[in-house]
Every structure is written in C-alpha cells, then in structure tokens.
Structure 1
Amino acid sequence: MNTVNAFQLPSETLTEDELAAITGYKIPSCQRQWLQRNAWEHVLTAAQRPVVGRMYARLRLAGVKPSATNAVTETWSLDLARVG
C-alpha cells in the first residue's frame, strides 16, 4: 500500500458515483432535476453536469439546513502535548 495515498483528503466536491448514489440517477439531466426538486444547491459545469460541495452534502444528509454559519469547515490545531 502506498502510504502517501492513504492520507489523501477527499475532494471538496462529490464524485460522479457519490452524486448518483444520492440522487439515484447516473444521467446528469436527471441528477439536475432531482437536485432542483429537493432544493439542493449546486452549480453546473460547462458540460451541464451538476457539482455539489462535499460539506454541503454532509450537512443536508444529516438533516441540517446549510447556512454561512454552520457550513464552515471544522477548525483544528496540532496538539503535540502527548508526543514523547
């Protein structure tokens, strides 16, 4: 196993497979319709494929209505107190 890839962070946007899993559709036009019907914020690529932010999707799936206050990424700091 390549240790560099083991710690790679996920993309800021959902993958095509993740979007298909949420909407139930693989065809972009159907995904757009589902997102519009369910009032999900999204943008379109030049190819008219919907793009949904990962943090937004996590909040929506958790039953939280995303806003400017709760959509901020968690802050963290490096804690070396227990490093010996």
Structure 2
Amino acid sequence: MDTQTETLAEEELAAITGYQLPSKQIQWLSMNGWQYVLTRSRRPIVGRVYARLKLAGVSPSANNSVTETWTLDLSRVG
C-alpha cells in the first residue's frame, strides 16, 4: 500500500504540468496561478491538499484548506 506525503511526488507534478524538466514545471505553475516553493536544487514543491483544491476548481484559501477541528459528541449515545 502506497502512503501519500503532504507534497506531490515528482511523477504527480509531471503528470499535472505535462513537463519533466523542473524549469518547465515552474513556468507552467506560474502561468496557471499555482503556488509552489522551490527546493535548494530549484525543483518545485506543491502541497497535496492545495493541488486537490486547485484540480477541483476551488480557489484555495486559509478557510477551505485547513481541516476543520471536531469534538466527540456523545450526547446521542444511549
């Protein structure tokens, strides 16, 4: 079973952008309004939750990209 990390894998980023070269990926991300950070080796890093929101057509913001906190409600347990 594969475990997913908090950031997209290189293969996933290549599938989204259509480019293998990091410089072309950066160009595509910038042209399409995606936020990313660069590693020291100038490779773009994109967060998984951010990418899911963007691909779903939702404009990521602080309100919709953070998981809601919840509390256990045992009031209905009898």
TM-score (norm 1): 0.78
In structure 2, the partner of 1:31 is: 25
Which structure 1 residue ranges, 4+ long, deviate > 3 Å from structure 2? Answer: 74-78
Residues 1:74 and 1:37: Cα distance change in structure 2 (over 3 Å): same
Q: Structure 1: any 5+ residue segments left out of the alignment? A: 1-5, 79-84
Determine whether 1:49 maps to 2:61: no
Determine whether 1:63 maps to 2:57: yes
Identity %, equivalent residues: 64
Write the distance in 2 (CA, Å) between the matches of 1:63 and 1:27.
25
Cα RMSD after superposing both structures: 1.9
TM-score (norm 2): 0.84
